[in-house]
Amino acid sequence: MQIIDAHQHFWNIEQNYLPWLRDDPPIKFRYGDYSALKRNYLPVDYLSDAEKFEVIGSVFIETEWDPADPRGEADWVGETRNATGLPSVMVAQAWLDRPDAAELLEAYGRTPFVRGIRHKPKAAPGPGAVVVGAPGSMGDASWRAGFALLAPNGLSFDLQTPWWHMPEARRLADDFPDTQIIINHTGLPSDRSTDGLAGWRAAMRVAAGAPNVAVKISGIGLAGQPWSAAANRGIVVDVIDMFGTDRAMFASNFPVDSLVGSFETIMGGFSEITSDFPEADRSRLFRDNARRLYRIADSDLRSPA
C-alpha cells in the first residue's frame, strides 16, 4: 500500500537550534528519556526506517525550532525538500498570541509548501485543572485573535493538546468553521485506566462532532512499554469509530515514536489492526485523507524508487 505519512519530523541539530534537543536540562517528555533523539534525523534516515513501506509523501510538522526564528525552519525545510523530495508539505511554527503573528501567518500563506501551522496551546496538568480562558489557552482572546487569521491565509491548524481540552477545541471549531483543525496524536490517551479511557472517549466524541475537525492516529505509545498492536487496538478502533474513515489518518510521528517502536512495528501495527477494513477505507487512513486535508498535489509526491 502506498503511504503518505501524515506526521513526521526532520532535524539537523548540528546546523540548527532546537532548544529541546540542544539545551540542558531536558524537558519533561511523555515518553521519558529522549536522549536517543539528540542526533541528526534527515530524509535518508527516515527512508531507511521506512524501507519496507512505499512512502510516496509526508507531512513535516514543526519541531519546536528556535521560537525567535520560526521562518528559519520553513527556509530549511524548503531546502531539504528541494534536495531530497521530502517532505511533501509542511505544518510550520507560529505563536498565535505573539505580536508578529499576523505578519508571520501572511508569510506562511505565500509559501507554496506550507499548509498549516501548529501552536501548542497552554494546557492544564489534568482534567480537573482546566481554566477556561487562561492566558495562552484556546479560550484566550489574544490566542483566538491569531487563530482567526488562519483561514484568510489559507492555513489549517494542527492541535496538540491533552484530551481534557477537547471541549475547548470544539468551541474553537464551532466559532471558526472555515478553519480545518487536525488533532495530533489521537488526543494523547496516555492514561489507560478505566476512568482515563472513559474521559478520553467522552472528550474525543465532543471534538468529533464538529465537521471541520480531523484526527491523526499517532503518538499512542506508552513510556517504558514497547509499542504493540494488541495494546493499542482499542484506541485505534475507538477513534476511527468516532471520526469515521474520512476524518482519521495514520502517521508515524518519526523519529519521536522510535522511542517506543520501529517504523515497521507501528505502521505495520496500524495495518494489522485494520486488516479486515475495506480496501477503500484503508487507503483513506494511510494515504488519501492526508492528501486531501493537507492539499498535497501530484507534484508534491515522490517516486518510491
Spell out the residues 6+ positions from residue 30 whose beta carbon is closer than 8 angstroms to its own: 188, 190, 223
pLDDT(164) > 90: yes
Give the chain's mean pLDDT: 97
What average pLDDT does the segment 59-65 reach? 98
Name the band, by pLDDT with cuts 50, 70 and 90, for residue 238.
very high
What average pLDDT does the segment 188-214 reach? 98
- What structural domains does the chain harbor? 2-300 (3.20.20.140)
Q: What is the pLDDT of residue 1?
A: 86
- What are the grid coordinates assigned to 160, written together? 496538540
Determine phi and psi for 150, rounding to 5 degrees: -65, -55
The maximal CA–CA distance of the chain, rounded, in angstroms, is 51
Q: What is the pLDDT of residue 303?
A: 73
Q: What is the pLDDT of residue 249?
A: 98
